[in-house]
Amino acid sequence: MQENQIKNNRAIGIFDSGFGGLTVMSAISKLLPKENLIYFGDTAHVPYGSKSKKIVTEFATKISKFLVKNNVKMIVIACNTASAFSLDYLKKNIKVPVIGVIKAGSVMAAQNTKNKRVGVIGTEGTVKSSAYEKEIKKYDNKINCFSKACPLFVPLVEEGWNNGKITEDIINVYLKNLVDKKIDTIILGCTHYPLLKETIKKVIGNKINIIDSANAVALAVQTLLTEKKLLRTSGKAAYKFYVSDGPQKFKNIGSKFLGKKILTVKKVEID
């Protein structure tokens, strides 16, 4: 086997604090069906959204080193909070390319907005970091950003309450002020939120563009691998799943996020 082919066969490493990053993995697997993927869910420390930058960066660094030991060719931070807090540090300190979910979603939103009014919803940590606003302003500083933390969205998704009257009412309470700001584009700034996409659309209407960062990241991964000549173009893809706690629960809930059954999950210690 040629050296280039061996390099290309290495997996893409993906990590998140729990299940949500599986929506990113799903998008990558659909766009790049030949790529081997390794997923790490830090289920012992979920959620990241309410934790400090220092602690999240410590977790993210340990996970990234674990993925590098597993010979990945790049790392995707499939977590908005970890992307906001840890991306710059990891890019400087990890020896493979690292990308996060925030830049890709920001660029897509900036390209889609017509009236330059963009809403961002996410965890407390992501919203407080203003990471999306900073990235959007880099692209076009005339765009106005309006952010809202939606902490109840994650438990709703994990309970399987993706639709129904209660879910619609909660979405309406959180998003009414953003709609009143006349936004024409909204970023789903948490990897759990794509599972609420249809219900969000029902509540806020079809006139507002919904930006799913998972799809934006998949395109960014494709671009980076193409530029570095690391795309895997043949063979059957292999997927591996690791967690820091609760492998059985991860299998059960994770399958909903991934959109296909997860058969094997291995618990590993990263501390």
Please tell me the total count of domains within the chain: 2
The pTM for the full model equals: 0.90
* Same domain? 96 vs 220: yes
pLDDT digit string (tens) for 83-103?
999 999 999 999 999 999 999
* Same domain? 89 vs 113: no
> Tell me, what CATH number does 175's domain have?
3.40.50.1860
* Same domain? 184 vs 245: no
How far, in Å, are 110, 130, 172 from residue 72 at the CA level? Answer: 31, 30, 41
Is the predicted pLDDT of residue 1 greater than 60, yes or no?
Answer: no
Residue 150 bears catalytic tag: no
Average pLDDT over all residues of the chain: 94
Of the residues 198, 213, 228, the one at which a domain ends: 213
Across 105-126, average pLDDT: 94
* Same domain? 111 vs 209: yes
* Same domain? 10 vs 53: yes
* Same domain? 87 vs 64: yes
pLDDT digit string (tens) for 208-251?
999 998 989 999 999 999 999 999 999 999 999 999 999 999 99
* Same domain? 107 vs 167: yes
> pLDDT at position 3, please?
63
Helices (H) and strands (E) counted in the chain, each on its own, are 12, 10
- Catalytic option among 11, 77, 79, 157: 79
Domain coverage including residue 165: 103-213
- Catalytic option among 14, 170, 178, 190: 190
The token duo for 24 is 């990113």
**Burial label, 70 (beta-carbon count in 10 A; 0-12, 13-18, 19+):** middle
Q: How far apart are CA 68 and CA 14, in angstroms?
A: 11
Task: Count CB atoms within 10 A of the CB of residue 129.
Answer: 20
Residue 79 bears catalytic tag: yes
CA dihedral 13, 263, 157, 104 (to 10 degrees): 20
> pLDDT at position 2, please?
60
